[in-house]
Amino acid sequence: MIGEFVELVEDLRGSRERARPGHSLLALVVWITVAALVAGCATLGAVESIDSLLKQAVALYEGKHYDEAIAKLRDVLARDAKSWTAYLYLARSYVAKLDWAQAIDSGRKAFELAPQGQDVVPVFAEALWGGGLASLQQGKFREAAANFVDYIKLKPGEAPGYLNAGRAYLGAGAFGDALSAFAGGLGHAGDGGVRRELLDGLLDGGRRALTGGDPKSAIGFLEEYVKVDPSHLSAYLDLGKANLQAGDRGEALAAYRRALQLSPGNEEALRSLLNLGGR
C-alpha cells in the first residue's frame, strides 16, 4: 500500500512539473496531502509492528522460551524505549533464568515508567527478593541489603523483608542499620516464626557486636531484645558484659541483678556481682 502511495507521489510530482502555471498550486496541495498520508501510514505500520513483536514475545515467555522472548523484547525497546510492558516481561524472563541483576534492572525500569501498572510491583519485588537472597548466600552483604531495602519500600508491611535486610547488614558489620531493620520488622510481625527469627537476629547482633569490641552497639541490640523477651537469662548476662565493657557499672549491676532474679544462684551472675561489689 505504501509503495502505491510512493508511485502516486512521483506521478503527482511529474504532473506538477508539466502542469500549466495556473494549476501548479493545486498540484502542490495534492502532493503535500498525499505525502502526509504516506507518513501517517508508515507510522501506523511501525506501531502495528511493535504490537506484533510484543505479542510474539509474550507468547514466547509463556512457552518458556526465555532467550527468544528476551530478543523480541529488546527489539520492542529499540523502537519504543518507554514500553513498560516490555520491561515487565524482560524482568519476568530474567527471573525465570535466575539472572537477578538483569531482572532487577528491568523491573526497576518498568516500575519507573508505570508504578501502578498491572503486575509491576509484584514482579519487581520478586526480582529484588531473589536477588537479595542470592547476594546474601554469596556473602555480598551490601548488595543484599540494598535489594532488601528496596523490597521493603515496595512492601513495607512484610516482616521477612526487614529480617533479611537485618541479616545482610549484620553480615556487613553495619550494626546500627541491622538493629533498625530487626526492630522495624518486629513492628510488622505476628506471633509466628518470623517474629522469633527477628528476636534471634537481635540476640545474634548483640553477641556479634560484643565479641567484635563494640559494646555500645551490643547494648542497643540487647536492650531491644529484652523489651520483647524480658525473661531471657543469657540476654541479661550479655547485657551486663556489654555495659561493663562500655564502662557503665550501674547498668551492668542492674543487668546482673535481673539475671539473678531469673535464675537464683546463677554462678556467672553471682561472680560478676561480687566482682563489682554489688551483691
Co-location of 56 and 104 in the same domain: no
Co-location of 8 and 44 in the same domain: yes
Question: Would you state the pLDDT for residue 7?
Answer: 52
User: What pLDDT digit, counting tens, does each position of 260-272 carry?
Assistant: 999 999 999 999 9
Co-location of 126 and 181 in the same domain: no
Domain boundary among 134, 155, 176: 155
Res. 66: pLDDT tops 50? yes
User: What pLDDT digit, counting tens, does each position of 202-240 carry?
Assistant: 999 999 999 999 999 999 999 999 999 999 999 999 999
Co-location of 223 and 162 in the same domain: yes
Question: Would you state the pLDDT for residue 154?
Answer: 98
Q: How confident is the model at residue 49 (pLDDT cuts 50, 70, 90)?
A: confident
Co-location of 47 and 30 in the same domain: yes
Question: Would you state the pLDDT for residue 11?
Answer: 53
Res. 112: pLDDT tops 90? yes
Q: Please give the tally of structural domains in the chain.
A: 4
| Of 36-40, 63-67, 109-113, 239-243, minimum mean pLDDT range | 36-40
Co-location of 246 and 182 in the same domain: no
Residue 157 CB contacts under 8 Å (≥ 6 apart), including other chains: 188
Co-location of 18 and 75 in the same domain: yes
Co-location of 236 and 225 in the same domain: no
User: What pLDDT digit, counting tens, does each position of 143-180 carry?
Assistant: 999 999 999 999 999 999 999 999 999 999 999 999 99
Q: How confident is the model at residue 190 (pLDDT cuts 50, 70, 90)?
A: confident
Question: Would you state the pLDDT for residue 180?
Answer: 98
Q: How confident is the model at residue 279 (pLDDT cuts 50, 70, 90)?
A: low
Grid cell 509484584 — which residue? 122
Which CATH number fits the domain that encloses residue 110?
1.25.40.10
Rounded Cα gap, residues 151 and 179, in angstroms = 18
Residues 132-147 have a mean pLDDT of 98
Q: From 160, 166, 249, 250, select the one nearest 209 (Cα to Cα).
A: 166
Residue 102 CB contacts under 8 Å (≥ 6 apart), including other chains: 90, 94
Res. 123: pLDDT tops 60? yes
Q: From 234, 224, 225, select the one nearest 258 (Cα to Cα).
A: 234
User: How would you write the chain as a 3-class SS string?
Assistant: CHHHHHHHHHHHHHHHHHCCHHHHHHHHHHHHHHHHHHHHHHHHHHHHHHHHHHHHHHHHHHCCCHHHHHHHHHHHHHHCCCCHHHHHHHHHHHHHCCCHHHHHHHHHHHHHHCCCCCCHHHHHHHHHHHHHHHHHHCCCHHHHHHHHHHHHHHCCCCHHHHHHHHHHHHHHCCHHHHHHHHHHHHCCCCCCHHHHHHHHHHHHHHHHHHHCCCHHHHHHHHHHHHHHCCCCHHHHHHHHHHHHHCCCHHHHHHHHHHHHHHCCCCHHHHHHHHHHCCC
Q: How confident is the model at residue 191 (pLDDT cuts 50, 70, 90)?
A: confident
Domain that holds residue 191: 157-229
Domain boundary among 105, 135, 155: 155
Domain boundary among 64, 79, 94: 79
User: What pLDDT digit, counting tens, does each position of 84-103 carry?
Assistant: 999 999 999 999 999 999 99
